[in-house]
Amino acid sequence: MRSPSIRALIAAGAALTCVTASAQTTPTRPALTRPGVLAAPATVDPGARPPSPDGIDWRGAVGGLRQSGNTGPGLGRGLDPAAVDKTKLPILLPADADLMGGARLYSFGDYYSITANLSGARVSLTGAAETTPLPAGSKLNLPAVGPEQLVVQRTVDGQLASFVRYGVLYTVELRCDAPSDARCRTEGFVRGLVAKSTVVVMGKAARQAAGLGA
Amino acid sequence: MRAPLVILILILLAVLALVGYNSGWFGSPPVPGAGPPGTPTASGATTPSGPAAEPEEPVGDGGVEQLPDEAQPQPAADPAKTPDAPSAGSFGHFPAGDLIAKSGSGYLDRTVWSPDLCFPFAEAAFANSQVYGAGGGMGPKDKPSQCDSSNYSLPWRDNFCESRGYASPLCVSGKGHQGQDIRPATCKKDLHWVVAAEAGIITDVGTYTVTLTGAAPPHRVYRYLHMRMNQLAVKEGDSVQAGANLGKASNDFGGTPTTIHMHFEIRSGVAGTSTDGKAVKLHTFLPPYQSLVAAYDRKRAGQACH
Ligand SMILES: [Zn+2]
């Protein structure tokens, strides 16, 4: 009879300790504040653009930035401004304010990963400047490669789409909490996200690389 | 004046704690005599701790990772290639691409895709098939327990490109298992630490998945499935060093439990050629087995992760 009560009290103490301990853990996620997303200038001097050894089509990316107009800064409002500025890539976002609200950007400079929440699912968006070559004898068994090398792959918990734009390898991945979630069992939802991935955001490093000045 | 309030709070905490204990919030009680596991030897001398069946959660449900509508016909392995024999001096393991018979095509790739990989378990562990091994949904009928000693002993066995309905473009059919299944040191869930494969950031935590993105180029993406998700040592946004504890190997799988194992994926952006000869870049799944073997050799030699 006494055992459960004692166990409960011990567990209660442990629970309090855990709560206290976790409260002392320093989060490494940067604070979500207003980003320093810069608007594209009205004109770009092609002569001022540096060569692009990184293989990125900066001219195309700047075109995308212009087309995004004021959408980019609005959509990117929740992203960590320091991470945006550090990213030496055109950041590509789906034109979906609900999805992008509260999205988190993790930047490695030449690679970024954004995580955004949906009800019962999450979306990851990545951009990579470089790819690793496969061995010469390896062949990729792909059912269909769409425009911009779009490939959609079914994963254990969702759908992974990748495509190449501006010389950057982008991914849009959907991950569902429940394996049975219909959004993750077919390609439609993730293809919809790819279709509306049209908004370009460029921070300081990207602007500099694009010859726009910092 | 405040004494009744304090007592009420204590009672509430006690009730919560009891509910939590019975729900497994605080993990399982320690296993008597569960010290560090023995280092595996070529003869497979590591001993499992015995069945870990729990009344409320029967084990032996290893077919769950392969959903019923995803059974695939077995494509033939590439006859032009044969698996290499493991190098002398390593621990006991089948060569890359040598899967359990009729479990899938495998992929005869010798590339170590993550050369500095930190072995993703803190202790010994056993790479093998959880669907086609003992206790698995497609496993041998005379070995119904996932805690069968065959699952917890050497040799290791590759199961990348094992039969699945999921996309895996490097597999012969374009579909197959996207990673490597690894059982922890013993058949006991929520006990054995899973660790970071390299330094990076935890970029996503799902209901049964944890994603680690490597800080160094080419920024490989490592996916860890089936840890005990309510006892993770990390959360989204955390920076981790190679070898840092992430969570404990378990059987979480979005409600329906799988076998006790950790499904481990390596993904990266790659440039290659499609079967119809077109150059293509995509982000996809790479075979982890050779990287795991090399990492385990380093671990057995006492080399630290960095
Ligand atoms: Zn698996």
Segment 200-259 of chain B within 8 Å of chain A by CB: 201, 203-204, 206-209, 211, 213, 215, 217-219, 221, 225, 235-239, 253-255
Question: In one letter, which amino acid is B195?
Answer: V
> Cα separation of A140 and A22, whole Å?
45
* pLDDT confidence band for B65 (50 / 70 / 90): low
First to last CA, chain A: 71
Number of domains in chain A: 1
Q: Identify the pLDDT of residue B67.
A: 46
Q: Identify the pLDDT of residue A213.
A: 76
Q: Does B65 touch chain A (CB under 8 A)?
A: yes
Between chain A and chain B, the number of residue pairs with CB atoms below 8 A apart is 190
> Cα separation of B281 and B5, whole Å?
64
Residue A59 maps to a domain: yes
Check whether B74 has a pLDDT greater than 70.
Answer: no
> Cα separation of B293 and B158, whole Å?
10
> Cα separation of B232 and A195, whole Å?
35
| Residue A71: domain span | 30-131+146-209
Query: pTM for the whole thing?
Result: 0.77
Q: Are B294 and B156 in contact (CB under 8 A)?
A: no
**Who has greater pLDDT, A18 or A207?**
A207
B17 and A8: CB-CB below 8 Å? yes
Check whether B169 has a pLDDT greater than 80.
Answer: yes
Q: Identify the pLDDT of residue B5.
A: 58
> Cα separation of A163 and A145, whole Å?
9
The kind and range of the H/E element at A105 are strand A104-107
Q: Count the alpha carbons within 13 Å of A163 in the hemisphere toward its beta carbon.
A: 21
> Cα separation of A179 and B254, whole Å?
7
Q: Both tokens of residue A13?
A: 């103490």
Lowest mean pLDDT among A33-42, A58-67, A101-110, B121-130: A33-42
For residue B125, give every residue at least 6 positions away whose Cβ sits within 8 Å of its Cβ, in sequence order, or none.
B119, B182, B183, B184, B185, B192, B262, B296
Q: Identify the pLDDT of residue A15.
A: 41
Express each pLDDT in B263-285 by its tens digit: 999 999 999 999 999 999 999 99
Residue A156 maps to a domain: yes
Check whether A38 has a pLDDT greater than 50.
Answer: no
Distance from the Cα of A39 to chain B's closest Cα (Å) equals 27
Residue A14 maps to a domain: no
Mean pLDDT of the region A165-177: 97
Express each pLDDT in B9-57 by its tens digit: 545 444 444 333 333 333 333 222 222 333 333 332 222 333 222 222 2
> Cα separation of A165 and A125, whole Å?
14
Contacts of A155 in chain B (CB under 8 A): 166-167, 178
A11 and B26: CB-CB below 8 Å? yes
Residue A182 maps to a domain: yes
Across chain B, what does the average pLDDT equal? 80
Across chain A, what does the average pLDDT equal? 80
- Burial of B158 per CB tally in 10 Å (0-12, 13-18, 19+): buried
Q: Does B17 touch chain A (CB under 8 A)?
A: yes
Q: Identify the pLDDT of residue B16.
A: 42
Q: Identify the pLDDT of residue B17.
A: 40
Q: Are B190 and B23 in contact (CB under 8 A)?
A: no
Residue A95 maps to a domain: yes
Q: Identify the pLDDT of residue B108.
A: 85
Q: Does A118 touch chain B (CB under 8 A)?
A: no
Q: Does A52 touch chain B (CB under 8 A)?
A: no
Q: Are B97 and B77 in contact (CB under 8 A)?
A: yes
Contacts of A157 in chain B (CB under 8 A): 206, 208-209, 225, 254
A15 and B284: CB-CB below 8 Å? no
Express each pLDDT in A191-210 by its tens digit: 999 999 999 999 999 999 99
SS (H, E, C) A48-90: HCCCCCCCCCHHHHHHHHHHHCCHHHHHHHHCCHHHHHHCCCC
Cis peptide before B218 (omega within 30 of 0): yes
**Who has greater pLDDT, A71 or B181?**
B181
Chain-centroid distance of CA B95 in Å reads 18
Q: Identify the pLDDT of residue B6.
A: 53
Contacts of B21 in chain A (CB under 8 A): 7-8, 11
Residue A7 maps to a domain: no
> Cα separation of B258 and B277, whole Å?
39
**Who has greater pLDDT, B97 or B34?**
B97
Positions of E strands within B241-302: 245-248, 262-274, 279-286
User: Complex ipTM, two decimals?
Assistant: 0.77
Express each pLDDT in B189-214 by its tens digit: 999 999 999 999 999 999 999 999 99
Residue A190 maps to a domain: yes
- Identify how many contiguous H helices and E strands chain B contains and give both numbers: 2, 10
Q: Considering CB atoms only, which of B26, B221, B282 is closest to A151?
A: B282
Lowest mean pLDDT among A114-123, B59-68, B100-109: B59-68
Residue A25 maps to a domain: no
Residue matched to tokens 């010389």 = A167
Pairing of strands B239-240, B221-225: unpaired
Check whether A152 has a pLDDT greater than 80.
Answer: yes
